[in-house]
Amino acid sequence: MIPSLDSKAIEHNYTHAKESYAAFAVDADAALDRLAGIPISINCWQGDDVGGFENLGGELTGGIAATGNYPGKARTADELRGDLSKVYSLLAGKHRLNLHAIYADFDGEVVDRDAITPQHFAQWIAWAKEEGIGLDFNPSYFSHPRADDGWTLASRDKGTRDFWVQHGLACREIAAAMGIALGTMCTHNVWIPDGEKDLPADRWTPRELLRESLDRIFAVNLDPAHVKDAVEPKLFGIGSEAYVVGSYDFYLAYAIENKKMLCLDTGHFHPTEQIADKLSAVLTFLDDVLLHVSRGIRWDSDHVVILGDEVRALAEEIIRGDATDRVFIGLDFFDASINRIAAWVIGARAMQKALLLALLQPTGMLKELEAADDRTARLAIMEDFKSMPLAAVWDFFCDTHGVPAGAAWLNDVRKYEEEVLSKRT
């Protein structure tokens, strides 16, 4: 059993921690109120290694990879929903679910990607209503015979492009239906794998084709209260090392010109490039941004998110820029080598902790020091706040929201593994 403090001890510790923060004019109660109101969109695809339920018999393609063979992955939509309910029960606050088109819940007849309708997501929508969570949505331009050569919206083949444009149109309708049914804006995020393994002779034509396909998909105006479109750039993928059609520059320009959201995935840039610095840059011109918080190790490996420098810097920028209503936070990782429920909980809690750390900083004081040219004190205080009693505040947050504090949530996950996951073969 993983130990944790009882509520009395947690409250006691919190009272003291609160005083430490108050000395710097940081209101810990207010920080917790704000934290509880920031939803994290949980990526459904961590639950089954980006498999989906179409049963096309193929493998995961598109230049992404889930490695590992930890037992117990979800085999059906019902199993995945069960697993996700467990996850939400271990997270403080109300969150969201990020679905991919390959998770359509076909009741009987399976249809191809260009023919999916909101009906195929009716069970997801009903379940989300019950859970009281919002949904986000992604078209799936991979793991499909029509994407086997690595080309979709930017394919030179008109038939292939038409098929995927149709998929895009279908997905926007589904996203809008989700937004309407649940009364909360659903993000619709376009990521395609199209690119070249080796030096292309023509970098221009595919980009013209992609622009044209995107224009066709976005031609229908939808109410932004229900759905907002995002485009997700990438530096490289497995098999598209030399050239990715939908690069950062391409999509940034497209998003600005077409008033779309930009989706920033922390694994999609040069390894030393930090996306925290990009928020204030792109949000000077764009209305909002979608995040795919991930963790790349040496490449876009999609490891489980942890409380590292990159995630902390990202949260700081969101809070310091007062941008919680302009930055939609989603997770994007898929690790098949550890318990998948635990992977979700670790990642989501790490994101929340990063936000809490940022909310507990004396941001006003730091900005004043900066304005007064006191960069010495700015650095000294920033550094000292790394070891302020975050854990005491975090435990209190969990405890008052009725979820296990510390790492004690793992006891629940182990029990679930024994009772549910281990029965899956």
Task: Give the residues lining the site for ligand RNT (CB under 6 A).
Answer: 45, 50, 64, 100, 138, 191, 232, 234, 265, 292, 300, 332
Pick the binder of Zn ion from 83, 332, 399, 412 (CB under 5 A).
Answer: 332
Shortest Å distance, C-beta 232 to Zn ion: 6
* Binder of residue 234, out of Zn ion, ligand RNT, none (CB less than 5 to 8 A by kind): ligand RNT
Query: Residue 394 contacts by C-beta under 8 Å, 6 or more apart in sequence?
Result: 353, 356, 405
Shortest Å distance, C-beta 199 to ligand RNT: 21
State yes or no: is 302 an active-site residue. Answer: yes
State yes or no: is 423 an active-site residue. Answer: no
273 to 292: interface string for Zn ion, x by CB under 5 A: -------------------x
Size of the site for Zn ion (CB under 5 A): 3
Q: Based on CB atoms, which residue is closest to ligand RNT, 93 or 296?
A: 296
Q: Based on CB atoms, which residue is closest to ligand RNT, 28 or 264?
A: 264
State yes or no: is 120 an active-site residue. Answer: no
Active-site position among 73, 268, 278, 353: 268
Active-site position among 292, 344, 409, 417: 292
Query: Residue 413 contacts by C-beta under 8 Å, 6 or more apart in sequence?
Result: 86, 90, 339, 341, 342, 345
Q: Based on CB atoms, which residue is closest to ligand RNT, 269 or 396?
A: 269
- HEC letters along the chain: CCCCCCHHHHHHHHHHHHHHHHCCCCCHHHHHHHHHCCCEEEEHHHHCCCCCCCCCCCCCCCCCCCCCCCCCCCCCHHHHHHHHHHHHHCCCCCCEEEEEHHHCCCCCCCCCHHHCCHHHHHHHHHHHHHHCCEEEEECCCCCCHHHCCCCCCCCCCHHHHHHHHHHHHHHHHHHHHHHHHHCCCEEEEECCCCEECCCCCCCHHHHHHHHHHHHHHCCCCCCCCCEEEEECCCCCCCCCCCEECCCHHHHHHHHHHHCCEEEEECCCCCCCCCCHHHHHHHCCCCCCEEEEECEEECEEEEECCCCCHHHHHHHHHHHHCCCCCCEEEEECCCCCCCCHHHHHHHHHHHHHHHHHHHHCCCHHHHHHHHHCCCHHHHHHHHHHHCCCCHHHHHHHHHHHCCCCCCCCHHHHHHHHHHHCHHHCC
Shortest Å distance, C-beta 179 to ligand RNT: 19
The piece of 44-52, 298-306, 330-338, 355-363 that touches Zn ion (CB under 5 A) is: 330-338
Q: Is 353 in the site for Zn ion (CB under 5 A)?
A: no
Q: Based on CB atoms, which residue is closest to ligand RNT, 347 or 362?
A: 347
Q: Based on CB atoms, which residue is closest to Zn ion, 54 or 265?
A: 265
Shortest Å distance, C-beta 229 to ligand RNT: 14
Q: Based on CB atoms, which residue is closest to Zn ion, 251 or 416?
A: 251
Q: Based on CB atoms, which residue is closest to Zn ion, 302 or 316?
A: 302
Measured CA to CA, the distance from residue 164 to residue 101 in angstroms comes to 12
The letter for the amino acid at 35 is: L
State yes or no: is 332 an active-site residue. Answer: yes
Shortest Å distance, C-beta 194 to Zn ion: 15
Active-site position among 124, 151, 191, 409: 191
Pick the binder of Zn ion from 136, 196, 229, 265 (CB under 5 A).
Answer: 265
* Binder of residue 211, out of Zn ion, ligand RNT, none (CB less than 5 to 8 A by kind): none
Structure tokens at 138: 């992604």
State yes or no: is 234 an active-site residue. Answer: yes
Active-site position among 49, 229, 232, 288: 232
Tokens 């990159």 appear where? 310
Active-site position among 194, 300, 310, 317: 300
* Binder of residue 138, out of ligand RNT, Zn ion, none (CB less than 5 to 8 A by kind): ligand RNT
Active-site position among 332, 335, 395, 399: 332
Kindly list the residues in this chain that would bind Zn ion in the complex (CB under 5 A): 265, 292, 332
Which residues are identified as catalytic? 191, 232, 234, 265, 268, 292, 300, 302, 332
